[in-house]
């Protein structure tokens, strides 16, 4: 796979974004510009696959795009990573034509090594271009006498007024020295570059646990600490308004200043902290009207240049000749000498002992420029000194001691001012004991909220259905098969719940095809038998239609009317359906989200069934619950959610698991096929078709790139029809009218269509036993769990069945490795765990999942063990003191209210 240079500028921002599961998108400014530039280049290079990927991202980034930018970026990421990898490889192999370190450090300045790229960083074509112009410019400059200093500053130049070649040379050097990856702290520098770079800018956001009441809620300016009004203003602009916001502002990273390097010890390509004296300072002409600033910093071992590409009159006062400064930043070895671009500078303390800023590990705060760090650090330290005593620890003392957690005050103090012997790496990874404590709080309050919510719900009176052995037997007898043991167990649990006066809140979790729908049908029959209405909500219209058919088949035998309510259909159809629901004629109502939209009132809703729960947020679930008087709720999920995550997401639900498939299934054989193996895939499909079986060919479809995706699917259908002219190939996608979709699916079910080429509208739940093979195009664009669900559409009968995953040609090796998990396992739980591990919870759950408090320090994938402990402790407290009335729980109650921002309706519990 060739690695086009236009992807290079995306490497660093995507790497940065990937760290947060693409959640911190808003922190990268200018990404759209960058993507557009790459897109144009990809178009010019006629790289169809890249054009497609980049177009998706561009569209998603535009406001109003329906696909989330995160998803589009996720699809692009493997490709960019690949570009990154292949750009490194050749560089590493290249002989070191670049100025080696020693040469740069000491001896005469090399003059003609400029054309070779430095091995340390990935380059974009744009920077490569500037590099070559650079080289040509520099050839003129090469005749300059070698400098005496090893810093990249020509001796004796003092002002920006230097004329002609010299100024150009400086400009050239200014660009050359920036030939590296964008860094958050290099923001300003980028304006001097030819290539558009995004401005990576983290948001200064206190972790969600910052108290909203009490002494810590006083405004920063009025807290007894004198803060310059301009600073207050600046902080407020970043959303830091209260004292607590500063205390709970989690450092982005840390810098090890326990030992300062000598200038000679600084290594090119590495960050370092050193101290030295300013020997020379001057303005730099970047271009007419734009000034930079450069200084030489020296100690007894050598000197380096400090370069800023944006400057103002303040620079001279900040970097006066003769001043001792601490500088920190990444050292670059340029042929012009060693330099730091936009270093963080701080005046060196006159005393030699350790201070807040030196001789220790210092925090680096998000949302602030490097040169602002000192001021913020000092302010946070003052606030901490004054207010940490007022920090109330929400955790009961006993719990804290038992788990050996530091107090909240101690943890906060340590986070802002680590001890000398703290482990730098664990601080940076937010894994230090202090960070663990904060993470525990987040998880604990999350679980406690869940546990209380569940109890709160439980304590409200609901419906006690009449469920007895006869009714159960009758309901089960409606099914054309015997329940599996797992199904029987689930039915018994559900029956027991339904008979109780408290509302049922149960999650029915089971792999695709494990028979959840059958269990739900039994529950529905029980409710209907007792005179109640049942609502079933499905995520897609096709799935709703299928459930409608299933329920009508199963319960129709008992004379029950089953109605379908969806967003589509004519006005009069909708009116008729609504009327049937309101009058109570329809006993079972199947629908999509349309069910929770207004206008539908039930006559007597008693049971709510929700399929594929994870697509609906917790809040939507509640909305449907409110349509009745606390109906029983059964949530079915086909995504086997890893245990810890399930506890977090569904902590307010009881759990039934179907861990057994109905008899007579043969496992699906899954293969990942690369481009050159595709002919074999189509032959294998043809083989199945010849046996009279049917096939799915699936294309991912996301709305933002709908046109492209649809075009793909359409073209795919045409190609297959051309290949198999004697077969019936049908296209099915979301843009079709409901009747058309229904017609295609019905024909497929009747066996009148051999191959259905579809976008993911068909996604889950479609049940055609004769379909034995599925081909999934651009498979890397799906999550593993989603793929696992999709392939569950085949293998529903006894015939051996197959699933072929075809990654798009633009996907990288990572994608392949990920997809191979599906070759190896058919266990939905194993796959879900893997998926979670590989993609992180944000992606695993999809971006829409919400209704839960945010986690800033804790990471559900990484902190599973901690989360389990937190859940257990939370459960114990919820059980022993459900109203949190004990004095030792008072702090918890307050913290919960703040954390959940009222979503818990704690009024009910406390």
**Chain positions contacting Mg ion, by CB under 5 A:** 517, 765
Counting beta carbons within 10 angstroms of the beta carbon of residue 43, is it exposed (0 to 12), middle (13 to 18) or buried (19 or more)? middle
Instruction: Compute the distance between CA of residue 664 and CA of residue 795 in angstroms, rounded to an integer.
Output: 10
Cβ atoms of residues 710 and 701 within 8 Å: yes
| Cα(744)–Cα(766) distance, integer angstroms | 12
| Interaction pattern, residues 627-646, with ligand ADP; x per rule: CB under 6 A | -----------x--------
Helix/strand/coil (H/E/C) assignment for every residue in 792-831? CCCCCCCCCEEEEEECCCCCCHHHHHHHHHHHHCCCHHHH
Which residues is 219 bridged to in the sheet?
A: 242
314 lines the binding site for ligand ADP (CB under 6 A):
no
What single-letter DSSP state applies at residue 625? H
Nearest residue to 563 (alpha-carbon basis) of 601, 534, 543, 599: 534
Closer residue to Mg ion in complex, CB, 394/765: 765
Site for ligand ADP, residues 767 to 796, rule: CB under 6 A:
767, 796
CA distance 451 to 875: 6
Give the residue carrying structure tokens 């960058």. Answer: 34
Nearer to ligand ADP, 451 or 766 (CB): 766
* Residue 566 contact, options Mg ion, ligand ADP, none, Cβ 5-8 Å cut-off depending on partner type: none
Nearer to ligand ADP, 335 or 515 (CB): 515
Q: Are 859 and 438 in contact (CB under 8 A)?
A: no
If the CB atoms of residues 638 and 861 are measured against ligand ADP, the closer one turns out to be 638
Closest separation between CB of residue 787 and ligand ADP, Å?
15
In three-state secondary structure terms, 672 is strand
Q: How far apart are CA 807 and CA 818, in angstroms?
A: 11
Instruction: Pick one of 27, 130, 162, 517: the residue that binds ligand ADP (CB under 6 A).
Output: 517
User: Minimum distance between the CB of residue 23 and Mg ion, rounded to whole angstroms?
Assistant: 30
Cα–Cα distance, 180 to 8 (Å, whole number): 11
Q: In whole angstroms, how close is the CB of 720 to Mg ion at the nearest point? A: 28
Rounded least distance, CB 545 to Mg ion, Å = 13
Question: Residue 505: which H helix or E strand, with range?
Answer: strand 505-510
- 796-815 positions binding ligand ADP, by CB under 6 A: 796
Q: Which is nearer to Mg ion, 595 or 866 (CB)?
A: 595
Q: Which of 864, 902, 863, 871 is nearest to 444 (CA)?
A: 871
Residue 455: CB atoms within 10 A of its CB come to 18
* Count of residues touching ligand ADP (by CB under 6 A): 17
Of residues 792 and 812, the one with the C-beta less far from ligand ADP: 792
161/736 Cα distance (integer angstroms): 68
Partner whose footprint covers residue 364, from Mg ion, ligand ADP, none (CB < 5 to 8 Å by kind): none
In the bound state with Mg ion, the residue whose beta carbon lies nearer, of 538 and 799, is 538
703 interacts with ligand ADP by CB under 6 A: no
- 637's tokens: 């999920």
Residues 741-770 contacting ligand ADP, CB under 6 A? 767
* Residue list 100-119, contact with ligand ADP (CB under 6 A): none
CB under 5 to 8 A by kind: which of Mg ion, ligand ADP, none does 767 bind?
ligand ADP
Is residue 740 part of the contact set for ligand ADP (CB under 6 A)?
no
DSSP state, residue 116: S
Asked if residue 8 binds ligand ADP (CB under 6 A), the reply is no
| Chosen from ligand ADP, Mg ion, none, partner binding at 481 (C-beta under 5 to 8 Å by type) | ligand ADP
Beta bridge partners of 590: 536, 564
**What is each CA distance from 416 to 380, 455, 738, in whole angstroms?**
8, 38, 58
The residue within the footprint of ligand ADP, chosen from 366, 456, 503, 515 (CB under 6 A), is 515
* Partner that binds at residue 510, options ligand ADP, Mg ion, none, CB closer than 5 to 8 Å by kind: ligand ADP
Residues 6+ apart with CB under 8 A from 214: 390, 392
Q: Which is nearer to ligand ADP, 99 or 766 (CB)?
A: 766
Judged by CB under 6 A, the chain residues 470 through 489 that form the site for ligand ADP are 481-484, 487
Confirm or reject binding of residue 615 to ligand ADP (CB under 6 A): no
d(CA 710, CA 399): 56
> For the CA atoms of 373, 374, 379, 384, what is the dihedral angle to 10 degrees?
90
Q: Is 518 in the site for ligand ADP (CB under 6 A)?
A: yes
Least distance to ligand ADP, CB of residue 823, Å: 22
Query: Between 648 and 687, how does the x/- string for binding to ligand ADP read (CB under 6 A)?
Result: --------------x-------------------------
Please, what is the minimum distance in Å from the beta carbon of residue 65 to Mg ion? 31
Judged by the rule CB under 6 A, the positions of this chain that interact with ligand ADP are 481-484, 487, 510, 512-518, 638, 662, 767, 796
């Amino acid at each position: 796979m060739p690695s086009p240079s236009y992807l290079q500028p995306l490497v660093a921002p995507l790497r940065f974004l990937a760290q947060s599961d693409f959640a911190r998108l808003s922190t990268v400014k200018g990404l759209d510009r960058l993507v557009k530039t790459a897109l144009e280049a990809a178009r010019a290079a006629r790289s169809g696959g890249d054009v497609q990927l980049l177009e998706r991202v561009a569209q998603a980034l535009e406001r109003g795009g329906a696909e989330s930018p995160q998803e589009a970026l996720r699809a692009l990421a493997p490709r960019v990573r690949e570009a990154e990898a292949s750009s490194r490889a050749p560089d590493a192999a290249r002989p070191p034509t670049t100025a080696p370190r020693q040469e740069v450090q000491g001896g005469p300045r090399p003059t003609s090594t400029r054309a070779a790229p430095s091995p340390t960083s990935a380059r974009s074509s744009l920077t490569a271009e500037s590099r070559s112009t650079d080289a040509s410019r520099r050839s003129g400059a090469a005749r300059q006498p070698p400098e005496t200093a090893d810093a990249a500053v020509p001796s004796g130049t003092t002002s920006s007024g230097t004329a002609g070649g010299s100024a150009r040379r400086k400009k050239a050097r200014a660009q050359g020295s920036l030939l590296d990856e964008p860094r958050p702290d290099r923001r300003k520098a980028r304006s001097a570059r030819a290539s558009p770079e995004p401005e990576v800018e983290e948001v200064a956001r206190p972790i969600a646990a910052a108290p909203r009441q009490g002494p810590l809620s006083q405004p920063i300016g009025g807290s007894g600490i004198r803060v310059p009004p301009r600073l207050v203003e600046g902080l407020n602009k970043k959303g830091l308004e209260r004292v607590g916001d500063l205390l709970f502002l989690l450092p982005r990273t840390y810098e090890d200043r326990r030992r300062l390097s000598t200038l000679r010890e600084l290594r090119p390509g590495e960050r370092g902290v050193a101290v030295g004296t300013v020997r020379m300072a001057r303005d730099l002409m970047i271009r007419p009207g734009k000034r930079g600033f450069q200084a030489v910093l020296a100690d007894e071992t050598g000197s380096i240049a400090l370069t800023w590409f944006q400057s103002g009159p303040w620079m001279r006062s900040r970097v006066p000749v003769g001043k001792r400064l601490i500088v920190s930043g990444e050292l670059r070895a340029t042929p012009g000498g060693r330099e730091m671009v936009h270093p963080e500078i701080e005046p060196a303390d006159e005393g030699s002992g350790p201070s807040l800023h030196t001789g220790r590990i210092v925090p680096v705060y998000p949302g602030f420029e490097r040169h602002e760090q000192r001021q913020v650090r000092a302010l946070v330290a003052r606030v901490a000194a004054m207010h940490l005593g007022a920090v109330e620890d929400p955790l009961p003392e006993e719990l804290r001691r038992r788990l050996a957690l530091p107090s909240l005050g101690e943890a906060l103090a340590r986070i802002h001012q680590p001890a000398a012997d703290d482990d730098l790496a664990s601080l940076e990874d937010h894994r230090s004991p202090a960070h663990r404590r904060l993470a525990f709080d987040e998880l604990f309050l999350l679980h406690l909220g869940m546990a209380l919510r569940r109890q709160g719900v439980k304590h409200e009176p609901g419906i006690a259905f009449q469920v007895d052995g006869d009714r159960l037997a009758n309901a089960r007898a409606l099914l054309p098969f015997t329940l599996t043991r797992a199904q029987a167990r689930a039915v018994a649990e559900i029956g027991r719940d339904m008979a109780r006066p408290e509302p049922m809140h149960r999650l029915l979790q089971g792999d695709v095809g494990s028979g959840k729908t059958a269990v739900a049908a039994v529950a529905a029959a029980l409710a209907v038998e007792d005179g109640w209405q049942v609502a079933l909500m499905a995520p897609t219209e096709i799935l709703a239609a299928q459930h409608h058919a299933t329920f009508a088949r199963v319960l129709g035998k008992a004379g029950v009317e089953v109605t379908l309510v969806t967003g589509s259909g004519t006005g009069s159809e909708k009116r008729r359906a609504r009327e049937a629901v309101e009058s109570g004629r329809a006993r079972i109502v199947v629908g999509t989200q349309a069910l929770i939209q207004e206008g539908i009132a039930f006559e007597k809703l008693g049971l709510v069934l929700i399929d594929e729960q994870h697509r609906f947020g917790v809040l939507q679930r509640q909305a449907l619950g409110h349509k009745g008087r606390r109906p029983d709720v059964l949530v079915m999920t086909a995504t086997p959610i890893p245990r810890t995550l399930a506890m977090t997401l569904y902590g307010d639900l009881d759990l039934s698991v179907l861990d057994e498939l109905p008899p007579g299934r043969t496992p699906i054989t899954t293969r990942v096929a690369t481009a050159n193996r595709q002919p074999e895939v189509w032959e294998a499909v043809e083989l199945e078709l010849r046996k009279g079986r049917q096939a799915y060919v699936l294309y991912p479809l996301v709305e933002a790139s709908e046109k492209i995706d649809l075009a793909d699917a359409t073209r795919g259908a045409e190609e297959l029809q051309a290949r198999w002219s004697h077969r019936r190939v049908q296209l099915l996608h979301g843009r079709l009218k409901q009747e058309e979709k229904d017609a295609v699916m019905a024909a497929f079910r009747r066996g009148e269509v051999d191959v259905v080429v579809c976008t993911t509208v068909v996604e889950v739940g479609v049940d055609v036993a004769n379909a034995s093979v599925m081909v999934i195009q651009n498979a890397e664009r799906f999550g593993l769990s989603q793929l696992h669900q999709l392939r569950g559409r085949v293998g529903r009968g006894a015939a051996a069945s197959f699933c072929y995953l075809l990654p798009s040609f633009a996907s990288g090796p990572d994608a392949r490795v990920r997809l191979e998990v599906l070759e190896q396992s058919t266990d939905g739980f194993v796959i879900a765990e893997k998926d979670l591990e590989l993609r992180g919870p944000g992606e695993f759950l999809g971006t829409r999942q919400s209704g839960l408090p945010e986690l800033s320090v804790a990471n559900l994938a990484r902190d599973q063990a901690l989360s389990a402990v937190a859940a257990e402790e939370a459960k114990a407290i919820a059980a022993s003191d459900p109203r949190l009335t004990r004095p030792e729980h008072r702090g918890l109650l307050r913290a919960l209210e703040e954390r959940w921002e009222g979503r818990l309706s704690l009024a009910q519990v406390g």
